[in-house]
Structure 1
Amino acid sequence: MSHQLIRRIYEQRLSAWAASRGLRIAYQGVAFDPGDDETYLRAFTLPAGTGTQTLEGTDRVYTGVFQISIVSPAGNGTGDAEGLVDDLDELFPTFLRLKQGDFEVMVLTPVEPGPAIVDDTTLTVSASFQYRADRA
């Protein structure tokens, strides 16, 4: 359940930011039809595992990666997508703590860009960071 909550927390922050820039988001497991020549985002979590740090095993430590892929029309270069990666680094700074109720998740690493992937119609640049949440 908590990886789902982590995804929801990060998606809410991303959604408000993207809306202010006129960007749509393709969410994990939700049908999405991009427009012609549209730049949009794809967001998803990559849970890394759930651990415990007590002998009783009553707590949980949730870790993983939150990734945002910036998908833009091919043929325009990487500059716009790379600029959005920089903006995402400001949106999700290292050690940012976000809460929902009594649950808190923290950004563990700086946002890191991935390589540009080009196909016939799109150029995709990913941006990702590691997260951690502890629940007693």
Structure 2
Amino acid sequence: MANHPETIIGLALFDRLRTMPGVLPIAWPNVPFTPPDDQRYLRVYVLPGQPEGIDLSGRHIRRGGMLQVSVCWPAGAGITAPREVAGAIADRFALGTIIERGGLRIRISRPPRIAGELIEDVVVQVPITAHYDVLS
């Protein structure tokens, strides 16, 4: 059972991605993963930011950060299909989306950004970044 806010936030964001209809296989952080033969999969990370005290008593903390998802696609197969997958992920984490878990309300605080593709030897990656914040 998760107790720390950063752990709860990460699990909630991961669950929202994992339960997305038609989701590709996911390479989770620090979990062994073998890419599928077709090289179509997601790679995901949560990048917590610096927590901030927002009141003089120190009772309220704002936690923010980013969910980073990369759509991995076979090199040489074009960019349209992986960008469409990236768009569906961005829609899943649209501005204003609220995810509740463990007594926390995680809010997507900016429109997700779909970055330019990163071309490697075997795969092309299309990164999506969704910023979140939580008041606790």
Matched residue, 2:52: 51
Matched residue, 2:40: 39
**Does the 8 Å contact 2:8/2:102 carry over to 1?**
no
Give the number of equivalent residue pairs.
133
Matched residue, 2:18: 15
Q: 1:115 to 1:23 in 2, by over 3 A?
A: same
How far off is 1:22 after superposition? 5.1
- State the TM-score, normalizing by the size of structure 1: 0.92
SS at match of 2:55: coil
* Percent identical residues: 23
Gaps of at least 5 residues in structure 2 are: none
SS at match of 1:49: coil
**Does the 8 Å contact 2:24/2:41 carry over to 1?**
yes
How far off is 1:51 after superposition? 0.8
Matched residue, 1:67: 68
How far off is 1:90 after superposition? 1.6
AA aligned to 1:4 is: T
- State the TM-score, normalizing by the size of structure 2: 0.92
**Does the 8 Å contact 1:85/1:111 carry over to 2?**
no
Matched residues in 2 for 1:43 and 1:22: separation? 12
Moved over 4 A (4+): none
Q: 1:38 to 1:22 in 2, by over 3 A?
A: farther
Matched residues in 2 for 1:80 and 1:73: separation? 11
How far off is 1:101 after superposition? 3.3
AA aligned to 1:85 is: A
SS at match of 1:83: helix
